[in-house]
Amino acid sequence: MTRERSRLEHDAGPCLLPTLRQHEQHGLRFGRHPERISEVVSCLQPTHVEALLVGALGDAERAAVHRHIDRCSPCRTMLAGAARAKAARAYGRSSPVPARSMDLRMPRSGDVLGARFTLRRPVGEGGAGVVWEAEEQASGRLVALKILRSLDAHANRRFVREVRVATALRHPNLVPILDAFVDDDSGRSVLAMECLQGSSLADRLVEARGSLPWIDVGVVGIGIAAGLGAAHALGVVHRDLKPANVFVRHDAVATPVRPADVVVLDFGIAKLTADAGVVANTGALTRSGTLLGTPHYMAPEQVRAGAAVEASADVWALGVLLYECTSGIRPVEGVTAVDVSRALLQPRILPLGVRCPEAPEAFVALVGRMLDPVASARPTMGTVESELRRETALVGPERLW
């Protein structure tokens, strides 16, 4: 037994050993380096899993692995188990929320969180929390800290556990997560991320007066699909994709926009799935009875009580985003969140080609499939990425924004 195989079996846990041994019977070799992948036919080798988790695969190799994972349940299970173990090794167990009295106010400038980060200035605010620019005391580097408003101990522990699984995946289109912890003084959950330079896609839409050329939207969509496809492979569903949670680096202002310029933010309400496909024991409502997500970007199944929310919900949200960024209008509208939720139960969406005649038929058709009310009829993120790459490549170099 090689060292790689022994470590992977330890990481996967006893419940996954039959899966690993089944792979071995099918002719797997546990070599020291991952073979170059053009298309994965048999099940993944442990070296492929390790290379994927540390970001060592190229774009084509990573896409091939994701296509295989889409159709192979044993490999999804193996990958999810290895990611959980990697996250546990890196960060260990989260500390319980102290029982002593806590400062109930939100942190302020100059406060030190986690005995590591000094708050400098707030840079954003949403319904779930506030984002601060902060300085790491030991290194002096700037980081972004998202501080959740919730003081519920159960929610805090769940948040830390789920985010730490997401940190196991290194992908250029996902915001680099540095740490997640519960602050001892305030009892609030804190997410530490790389401090990015640029602006959100929502801000770009405002600057562009509501819409962008379809080719630029397609290129941005490639980056989003690549990042979320990697998250889905680990069993993480974002559940709140929208323009405000997509970041475009500053470099894209003066140069042609590229998929690498796109970063998906805010996995604050992301859900870890049981088997890299189906969210366990979730419906449209939280324990407090509030909807999870932003209504205009939520899939129909997210507003149905008791319905399972799968990775296909993120595909719907990306379809809404592509539709909106291209046409300037969201496919499902309503004055209130209740209006939108009701409309989602029986969505009547005007085809994108009617609103944006200049968009090519293949692009319009893809967006239409992504907005299928039946979750199982939507394409996977891997398919979305591949089709967007093919369609944008037909046009030539990306445009300037």
Alpha helices in 43-184 (DSSP H): 46-53, 59-71, 73-91, 153-166
> Average pLDDT for residues 337-365, to the nearest whole number?
87
Q: What is the pTM of this model?
A: 0.68
Chain centroid offset of residue 230 CA: 8
pLDDT value at position 255?
Answer: 65
First to last CA, the chain: 54
> Average pLDDT for residues 43-60, to the nearest whole number?
73
The token duo for 261 is: 């310029």
pLDDT value at position 4?
Answer: 45
State yes or no: pLDDT of 162 exceeds 70. Answer: no
What's the mean per-residue pLDDT of the chain? 75
> Average pLDDT for residues 317-344, to the nearest whole number?
86
Provide long-range contacts, Cβ within 8 A and 24+ apart, for 201-207: 201/243, 201/244, 201/246, 201/247, 201/248, 201/321, 201/325, 202/242, 202/243, 202/244, 202/246, 204/243, 204/248, 204/401, 205/243, 205/324, 205/325
Count the neighbouring beta carbons within 10 Å of the beta carbon of residue 115. Answer: 10
State yes or no: pLDDT of 326 exceeds 90. Answer: yes
Residue 375 makes CB contacts below 8 A (sequence gap 6+) with 299, 300, 301, 310, 312, 313, 316
**Catalytic annotation present for 261:** no
The SS3 call for residue 113 is strand
Query: Measured between alpha carbons, how far is residue 213 from residues 242, 244, 379 in Å?
Result: 18, 19, 23
Higher pLDDT pick, 97 / 123: 123
The SS3 call for residue 290 is coil
The token duo for 62 is: 């990573």
Name the catalytic one among 216, 240, 261, 372: 240
pLDDT value at position 272?
Answer: 58
Each residue's pLDDT tens digit, 9-32? 444 443 333 333 433 333 333 333
Each residue's pLDDT tens digit, 275-288? 333 333 333 334 33
pLDDT value at position 279?
Answer: 35
Each residue's pLDDT tens digit, 298-314? 888 888 776 778 999 99
State yes or no: pLDDT of 111 exceeds 90. Answer: yes
Confidence of residue 290 (pLDDT cuts 50, 70, 90): very low
Higher pLDDT pick, 57 / 117: 117
What share of the chain has pLDDT > 70, as a percent? 65
Structural domains present in the chain: 3-71 (no CATH), 112-194 (3.30.200.20), 198-393 (1.10.510.10)
Window from 7-11, 128-132, 336-340 with minimum mean pLDDT: 7-11
> Average pLDDT for residues 323-346, to the nearest whole number?
82
State yes or no: pLDDT of 388 exceeds 60. Answer: yes
